[in-house]
Amino acid sequence: MKLILATIVVAFVIGLATGGSPSGFPGVRWGWLALAAIALQLLPLNGQPAFVTLIGSFGLLLAFAAANIRAPGSLLILVGLGLNLLVIGANHGMPVTARALRESGQASTITDLMIHGGAKHHLAGSATVLSPLADVIAVPKPIGQAISVGDICVHLGVGWFIVAGMQPVRAKRRRVASMSEGTGL
């Protein structure tokens, strides 16, 4: 949660620093899908119901990203969600390495994950499939989180969406016009 908040704040600051304003921020389609997906991930479930709910939440997030595919950053968000869903599906939950937990300041969770690992996260081991796509990247404190390549894509996409959405309308029109000229449209 800290990382997404940091992403939003940094993108907002960059948007302002590049002459943007939140006043002309574009709307999103089917925003309720994203809210429903987040709500599903917050349900206090265990075992198979937790896994099914997690997969369902990713389905909703993918549908939301697809519905907004023309928005800046949405393709990157879609790719990141797809990568995370792939590794979660292949491993029946998101594997996280002990190294990433230690380096992100979360070493205290290693024993709990070894004993109680669940659908959302479990400690990576020799049976982990697609290990490079798991939570293997440590983000040190003050964020203190282990993340995946998919997470990086999602956060970059969210940042891009915010910064681009804050730009003045005339700058957006110039970009669209120059893109159209380059494609012969």
Query: What pLDDT, in 10s, does the model give residues 57-71?
Result: 999 999 999 999 999
Query: CA separation (Å) from 28 to 3, 59, 79, 132?
Result: 22, 17, 18, 32
pTM of this prediction exceeds 0.75: yes
pLDDT value of position 55: 96
Cα dihedral sign, 24-30-32-33: negative
pLDDT value of position 25: 75
CA-CA distance, 164 to 183, in Å (whole number)?
21
Tokens representing 46?
Answer: 């265990």
